[in-house]
Amino acid sequence: MSSHSVADAKAHLSNLIDRAIDGEAVVITRHGQPVVELKALARVAAPMSKSELDWLRARRLARKITDFDAGAFISQMRDEDDDRLLRR
């Protein structure tokens, strides 16, 4: 764990953020007392909308993947997704 004064943190904020993202515990002090800890946020995927879930459900129920291999299936789904995004 590293400890830095507010003045030091202001001067080196970008570096301290990088260190926190790398997993280091970074504490900022005021008048020698710890007041803030910097830590990286967990990356969370944006939730799917109801229309996106409905689209996926329709594709999942309507498709039978026995006709071709998984790689071809994934490629086809990706291409359809690209087409759908272009039509937005």
Which CATH number covers residue 33?
Answer: 3.40.1620.10
**Which pLDDT score, from 0 to 100, does residue 20 have?**
92
Report pLDDT digits (tens) over 5-64.
999 999 999 999 999 999 899 999 999 999 999 998 887 778 888 998 888 888 876 666
Same domain, 31 and 59: no
Those residues with Cβ within 8 angstroms of residue 26's Cβ, 6 or more apart along the chain or in another chain: 1, 2, 4, 16, 19, 20, 37, 38, 39
**Which pLDDT score, from 0 to 100, does residue 76 have?**
84
Range of the domain at 8: 2-38
Number of domains in the chain: 2
